[in-house]
Chains A and B, each alone.
Chain A
Amino acid sequence: MTDHTPTPRSEEPEDIQKRNFIKGLTAALLGFLTLGLSLPFVSYLIPASNEGADRKFIKVPNFSAIPVGKPTKMTFEDLDVQAFIRSQVVYDVWVIKHSDTQATVYSPLCPHLNCRYTFINNQFNCPCHGSLFDENGKVIGGPSPRPLDTLAYKIESGELYVQWKLFKAGIPQKVEA
């Protein structure tokens, strides 16, 4: 941008060698700097794995109070922690109590397209597309490709604990989402 003509550079082999050496060293320093920065700055963005969080059993209160043999919709709360945010989440499940130590726990979502179903006339009835299930979760009508999804549970000293999971909708296999 300056007006005057550029002064030609020295073409002595020694000067060229010196220039190339400086170029190489500059490139090495810049390269190392980039490497030293990119490794931490990329791993900074990789989230910590939260293994074990979805294997947790969450307490469902009032198990002792519900009637035996009758499907009952129950809600329970859990503390959801993501990074620095701790929030209260409410889940619901259908529970059929067989005895004080035996029960069946269904996910409240219809396996067809994840609508929430209800229990009417001794049938589980999904209002979205009319899927029907009997008390054992078996499909007795409508488009659902598989029976109701059961959830793992345990009963300890009279209290019910449920492992909350989501499953892929619309396919015949029960696969975790």
Chain B
Amino acid sequence: MKTPLLQKMIGWINERTSLITFFSEFLHEEIPGGTRFSYTLGSACMFLLTMQIVTGVWQLFYYVPTIDYAYTSLNYLRLQVPFGWLVHGIHYWGGTLFTIVVGLHVLRVFIWGSYKKPREMVWLIGIVLIVLTAMFMFTGPVLPWDKNGYWAGQVGIGIAGSVPIVGPMTQMILQGADKMGQMALLRIYVLHVAIIPAMVGLFVTLHLIAFRQFGESGPWDEDKRKKIGYFWPEQIFKDVLVSFLIFLLLVFLSAFFPPPFSGLADPTDTLITPKPAWSFLFLYQILKFLPGPLEPLGTAGVPLMIILLFASLPFADSNPQKNPFKRGFIILGGFTFVGMILYLTWLGYIYRSPAEAAQMEAPNRTIVDLTNKKLPDLDIPKTMALVNVDKKLTGQQLFKTLGCTECHSTTGIAGNKQGPDLVMARGNNRSHQWLSIQVIAPQLHNPRTIMPPYSDLSDQNVELLLGYLENLKPASVPLPPPKPTTAQESVDNKDVLIKYGEQLFNTQGCVQCHTIQGRPSNKSGPDLIMAIAKDKPAQDWLKVQLTAPQQHNPMSIMPSYANRLKDDQIDAMTLFLSSLATRKPTPVTKAEEQAQAAEGQGNPPSSTNGIAPQSVGLIGDREHGAILFHQSCIMCHGPRGIPNTPGFNAPRGVPALNPIDPAVKNEDAQVFAEHVDRYIQHGIPNTEGGPNMPNFGDSHALTQAQIADLESYVLYLNGVDRTKIINPGIDPKEFFFMLLGGTSIIVLLAGLFWWIPKLLKL
């Protein structure tokens, strides 16, 4: 049907390039034994590779390879760019399918004996491609810089670093710095989008050229080989059909199983079980069987052995016999190998550390996943850096600084605090080891405890704290002194009472909100030396302030101590407070100076120039948020944010989070998150005398990534999905069904074209 002009043009081009001759030879290739669907695996690899290249390049239009924007830019792409969900989804699932199809392709070649003479080079080039695929699968998941990717990268680079001799240098080259950070992300990015693709392009070309030299090896049975099939159109039709089905599968997976949002990478978060990408799980599992000194054997030895085993196959198995039923030993060996890899992958996939297993069993944790609490952390001073900096703090000071007094008393009297009185708890005779675990990871003893883990404490500080706790004696709190009987005695007794009042001040939680240092502090209450020196309040006024502070100021957030302290204790406290009017300010210590300096540097931009904190733009992981909620919020807001449930009553003035105040809620997830964010960042005083909402962001008690996770969880509790696609182009599920509809029409038309001529003939 070619017009003479077209024919002329084609001829003109071919005379100068022989391109047409080349392609027609390519297309008219004969296939011994006829066309087969099992031969489509190679072209399916090509199709998937093409899809990876296109979607990969398309993602580069939005993705930014920096640690502050990688995750945000990817989420923008996924939720706000039309069909971003499709481009990213195809790339995510395409990588997985590519690995599987490459595996099947290798298996097919293995069973058919197609690696044998004269096709050894095709096989060897194929091994290079497998290694390159593995490099793709290692570098790709790091790029989102989310929790999964960060830890997969961390583990992978660690594995590379443990290889003998070349390991440390490889690690330095990959990381580009002394630890995993911006340089590592950029290098992994360059590998993933430039170096590895270029090498894959080269080796795929070589693979195809070498393959065309001898073509399809065909069936092992000589008789079957006599039948001849053709590449065009018969085999190409099968290739296109399989590729098309793979395309439908990719869209289906992207629409119905979108990649997870695992929250921004947070190097300080110890709640994550670092696991590599699924394609490396078998290796990860092998490493568990190899103790310490043998580890390089697993990290370097096993992959090297596998590569050598593959490479030597055509030479070790040089017998020209291709029939798998006559190559029993080799085939059996091959299937044992595949079975082992699959089994190890499965073991790695289901692996849970004992601590994590304990978390999973805990009730009311139905959506909680992944909680491997790392045990004693030796060298990571993180949110508690300030505490860990000053090694000179005593155990008692630590006890106060860490906020233990919020929940525990040390008076030997059963109080109304959340936690047990620690003097009374001495009666349990807990071992040193038990106490140490209770401080670092209390959930190991009781998965439902509301005590937060102090895993960030240095070993030294844990020892200091335990030293203090183990030496607590009921007698360390003075008994109320005898009541003065005469005026003279009363003067003598006054000093004793003031001393007693000071001890009460230090043990009854006053230090949570007040300082006695003579200069302003960042605590929520006034500094008492300043306040009392200024106003010189009467003792009666102080007494009312202690027992009913709201009488003086209805908005006061100070709790009443009427039920906590006995009358004579309140008297002692009043005396102590009055005595502060003449007390001199304490000098600023070096530790405090350092702490203030550090705080100044660490201030979030919000407090200075009005730009919203980082967490607002982040899409957190709600499952991780649930774990954090369990640790930091549940003691006041109740399980799942419900303030009053059987077995739990929220303290006074603590608002319900589930359902949350309608004024805070918003159907727009971004706006809703911004509303919640303010409270978590800056805290808010409790107007009804209950506990205040702490400033988790400003105090750096939680990282911005953790706050984003918590926000996702709170939104989820209120039925708002932070990961909802804002601009899908076409709704993912609708788009899939549209494609399915189009496909059905093609099939229907094809049926008509095929059957109608036949029917007419009859």
Binding site for B on A (CB under 8 A): 1-2, 6-7, 9, 17, 19, 21-26, 28-30, 32-33, 36-37, 40-41, 43-46, 48, 77, 79, 83-86, 88
Give residues of chain B (221-236) contacting chain A, Cβ–Cβ below 8 Å.
228, 230, 233-234, 236
The reply to whether the CB of B743 lies closer than 8 angstroms to some CB of chain A is yes
The reply to whether the CB of B375 lies closer than 8 angstroms to some CB of chain A is no
Q: Please tell me if the beta carbons of B237 and A22 are within 8 angstroms of each other in the complex.
A: yes
* Min CB gap B103→A, angstroms: 24
CB-CB nearest in chain A for B753: A21
Q: What residues on B are CB-neighbors of A29 within 8 Å?
A: 240-241, 244, 746
The reply to whether the CB of B72 lies closer than 8 angstroms to some CB of chain A is yes
The reply to whether the CB of B54 lies closer than 8 angstroms to some CB of chain A is yes
The reply to whether the CB of B23 lies closer than 8 angstroms to some CB of chain A is no
Interface string of B574-617 (1 = CB under 8 A from A): 00000000000000000000000000000000000111100001
The reply to whether the CB of B81 lies closer than 8 angstroms to some CB of chain A is yes
Q: What residues on B are CB-neighbors of A40 within 8 Å?
A: 82-83, 86-87, 729-730, 735
Q: What residues on B are CB-neighbors of A48 within 8 Å?
A: 80, 82, 727
Q: Please tell me if the beta carbons of A1 and B212 are within 8 angstroms of each other in the complex.
A: yes
Q: What residues on A are CB-neighbors of B150 within 8 Å?
A: none
Q: Please tell me if the beta carbons of A88 and B611 are within 8 angstroms of each other in the complex.
A: yes
Q: With contacts A29-B746, A44-B58 known, what are 5 further pairs, Cβ within 8 A?
A: A22-B234, A24-B750, A33-B244, A36-B739, A83-B62
- Given known contacts A32-B742, A44-B729, is B83 in contact with A26 (CB within 8 Å)? no
- Given known contacts A1-B25, A19-B233, A48-B727, is B84 in contact with A32 (CB within 8 Å)? no
Q: Please tell me if the beta carbons of A44 and B233 are within 8 angstroms of each other in the complex.
A: no
A79 to B28, CA, bound (A): 62
CB-CB nearest in chain B for A20: B233
- Given known contacts A41-B87, A44-B82, A85-B69, is B746 in contact with A7 (CB within 8 Å)? no
A24 to B221, CA, bound (A): 33
- Given known contacts A6-B30, A36-B247, A84-B72, is B746 in contact with A28 (CB within 8 Å)? yes
- Given known contacts A23-B233, A25-B237, is B30 in contact with A41 (CB within 8 Å)? no
The reply to whether the CB of B73 lies closer than 8 angstroms to some CB of chain A is yes
CB pairs A–B below 8 angstroms (19 shown): A1-B212, A1-B213, A7-B30, A21-B753, A22-B233, A22-B234, A24-B753, A25-B237, A32-B244, A36-B247, A36-B739, A37-B54, A40-B83, A43-B82, A45-B61, A46-B82, A84-B69, A84-B72, A84-B76
A28 to B244, CA, bound (A): 11
Q: Please tell me if the beta carbons of A86 and B612 are within 8 angstroms of each other in the complex.
A: yes
Q: What residues on B are CB-neighbors of A44 within 8 Å?
A: 58, 61, 81-84, 86-87, 729
* Min CB gap A90→B, angstroms: 11
- Given known contacts A48-B80, A84-B72, is B233 in contact with A32 (CB within 8 Å)? no
The reply to whether the CB of B215 lies closer than 8 angstroms to some CB of chain A is yes
CB-CB nearest in chain A for B214: A2
Q: What residues on B are CB-neighbors of A33 within 8 Å?
A: 243-244, 247
CB-CB nearest in chain A for B244: A29
* Min CB gap A112→B, angstroms: 34
A21 to B749, CA, bound (A): 11
Query: Please, how many residues of chain B have a CB less than 8 angstroms from a CB on the other chain?
Result: 55
- Given known contacts A6-B28, A33-B244, is B69 in contact with A41 (CB within 8 Å)? no
Q: Please tell me if the beta carbons of B617 and A86 are within 8 angstroms of each other in the complex.
A: yes
CB-CB nearest in chain B for A43: B82
* Min CB gap B229→A, angstroms: 10
Closest 10 CB pairs of A and B: A40-B83, A84-B76, A23-B233, A22-B233, A84-B72, A43-B82, A22-B237, A26-B237, A44-B83, A29-B244
Interface of B is mostly: helix
A23 to B234, CA, bound (A): 8
Q: Please tell me if the beta carbons of A17 and B757 are within 8 angstroms of each other in the complex.
A: yes
A41 to B87, CA, bound (A): 8
Q: Please tell me if the beta carbons of B25 and A86 are within 8 angstroms of each other in the complex.
A: no
Q: Looking at the complex, which one of A28, A41, A77, A85 makes contact with B54 (CB distance below 8 Å)?
A: A41
CB-CB nearest in chain A for B236: A26
Q: What residues on A are CB-neighbors of B212 within 8 Å?
A: 1
Q: What residues on A are CB-neighbors of B64 within 8 Å?
A: 84
Number of A-B contacts (CB under 8 A): 102
A41 to B753, CA, bound (A): 32
The reply to whether the CB of B325 lies closer than 8 angstroms to some CB of chain A is no
* Min CB gap B2→A, angstroms: 15
A19 to B237, CA, bound (A): 10
The reply to whether the CB of B289 lies closer than 8 angstroms to some CB of chain A is no
* Min CB gap A43→B, angstroms: 5
A85 to B614, CA, bound (A): 11
Q: What residues on B are CB-neighbors of A36 within 8 Å?
A: 247, 251, 739, 742
A44 to B729, CA, bound (A): 8
Give residues of chain B (715-759) contacting chain A, Cβ–Cβ below 8 Å.
727, 729-730, 735, 739, 742-743, 746, 749-750, 753-754, 757
* Min CB gap A77→B, angstroms: 8
A29 to B742, CA, bound (A): 10
* Min CB gap B27→A, angstroms: 11
Q: What residues on B are CB-neighbors of A21 within 8 Å?
A: 750, 753-754
CB-CB nearest in chain B for A23: B233
A6 to B729, CA, bound (A): 50
Q: Which of B62, B237, B750 has the most CB of A within 10 A?
A: B237
A2 to B217, CA, bound (A): 13
A84 to B215, CA, bound (A): 50
* Min CB gap A99→B, angstroms: 30
Q: What residues on A are CB-neighbors of B729 within 8 Å?
A: 40, 43-44
Q: Please tell me if the beta carbons of A88 and B83 are within 8 angstroms of each other in the complex.
A: no
* Min CB gap A149→B, angstroms: 28
* Min CB gap B294→A, angstroms: 46
A46 to B84, CA, bound (A): 11
CB-CB nearest in chain B for A24: B753
Q: What residues on B are CB-neighbors of A7 within 8 Å?
A: 30, 228
Q: What residues on A are CB-neighbors of B746 within 8 Å?
A: 25, 28-29, 32
Q: What residues on B are CB-neighbors of A25 within 8 Å?
A: 237, 746, 750
Give residues of chain B (64-89) contacting chain A, Cβ–Cβ below 8 Å.
64, 69, 72-73, 75-76, 80-84, 86-87
A22 to B236, CA, bound (A): 9
CB-CB nearest in chain B for A25: B750
A89 to B273, CA, bound (A): 42
Q: What residues on B are CB-neighbors of A43 within 8 Å?
A: 82-83, 729
Q: What residues on B are CB-neighbors of A24 within 8 Å?
A: 750, 753
CB-CB nearest in chain A for B62: A83
* Min CB gap B261→A, angstroms: 15
* Min CB gap A141→B, angstroms: 41
A86 to B214, CA, bound (A): 58
A9 to B231, CA, bound (A): 12
Q: What residues on B are CB-neighbors of A86 within 8 Å?
A: 611-612, 617
Q: Please tell me if the beta carbons of A26 and B240 are within 8 angstroms of each other in the complex.
A: yes
A11 to B707, CA, bound (A): 72
A9 to B87, CA, bound (A): 42
A44 to B55, CA, bound (A): 11
Q: What residues on A are CB-neighbors of B757 within 8 Å?
A: 17
Give residues of chain B (277-318) contacting chain A, Cβ–Cβ below 8 Å.
none
A79 to B617, CA, bound (A): 14
Q: Please tell me if the beta carbons of B750 and A28 are within 8 angstroms of each other in the complex.
A: yes
CB-CB nearest in chain B for A4: B30
A40 to B247, CA, bound (A): 14
* Min CB gap A17→B, angstroms: 7
Q: Please tell me if the beta carbons of B617 and A84 are within 8 angstroms of each other in the complex.
A: yes
Q: Looking at the complex, which one of B62, B83, B243 makes contact with A41 (CB distance below 8 Å)?
A: B83
A85 to B80, CA, bound (A): 13
A36 to B355, CA, bound (A): 47
A52 to B710, CA, bound (A): 32
A3 to B437, CA, bound (A): 76
Q: What residues on A are CB-neighbors of B80 within 8 Å?
A: 48, 83
Give residues of chain B (243-295) contacting chain A, Cβ–Cβ below 8 Å.
243-244, 247, 251
A19 to B69, CA, bound (A): 53
CB-CB nearest in chain A for B609: A88
A60 to B92, CA, bound (A): 47
* Min CB gap A28→B, angstroms: 5
Q: What residues on B are CB-neighbors of A77 within 8 Å?
A: 610
